Amino acid sequence: MNLAFRDAVAETLPSEARLRARLAALPEREWEDLAGLFAATLPEVDVLLALPEGLSLARAIARARGIPVLDALSPNGTGEAAGAAGAALVSGHLTDGLPEMEALLRAERRGLRVPVVIAAIERTNDRGRTRLELQAVRVQAAVRLADTPEGLAFERRTPRRWPKVS
């Protein structure tokens, strides 16, 4: 985990509004530090598909890996990946997983396999991870946050691992 990114998130807690404002203003250098960690663990993919809140992170990962970034929600976005076999989807803020599922469906219609979703922030009270993992898509998140009565807090539970079905 990137400690500078975690510290930047910690400064905003428990406020969701401050978290979103901080992420929007995060310097490019901090995105690049975080991207280096994801670039090292990312499976072999030909292209990155970026959701709007994940664009800064996607661009930084793309520079580290030397692969293109496409707009995941653009009508032509995934069509520009002709010839690409695999892609990773980059999300800034994984909540219920619906924007990510929409992007996965668009990619699949264009023949792209998306084995992993990368998220800067994952909200663990929402069902995004579950929805994606039920589609056999792995989720990698830099920071996992839980909604508590006092506001946002770092998640303390480890993600559930579903058994493989043969």
Q: What is the pTM of this model?
A: 0.88
* Domain presence at residue 30: yes
Query: What is the structure's pLDDT at 156?
Result: 87
| pLDDT tens across the length of the chain (166 residues) | 567 899 999 999 999 999 999 998 998 888 998 999 899 999 999 999 999 999 999 999 999 999 999 999 876 655 566 667 799 999 999 999 999 999 999 998 888 999 999 999 999 999 999 999 999 999 999 999 999 999 999 998 876 665 554 4
* Domain presence at residue 7: yes
Distance (Å, rounded) from C-alpha 69 to C-alpha 47? 6
Number of domains in the chain: 1
* Domain presence at residue 111: yes
* Domain presence at residue 100: yes
Place of tokens 């924007």: 99
Query: What is the structure's pLDDT at 83?
Result: 65
CATH number at residue 116: 3.40.50.2020
* Domain presence at residue 116: yes
Query: What is the structure's pLDDT at 58?
Result: 97
* Domain presence at residue 67: yes
* Domain presence at residue 34: yes
Boundaries of domain holding 23 = 3-154
Query: What is the structure's pLDDT at 166?
Result: 45
Query: What is the structure's pLDDT at 165?
Result: 47
* Domain presence at residue 145: yes
Query: What is the structure's pLDDT at 158?
Result: 76
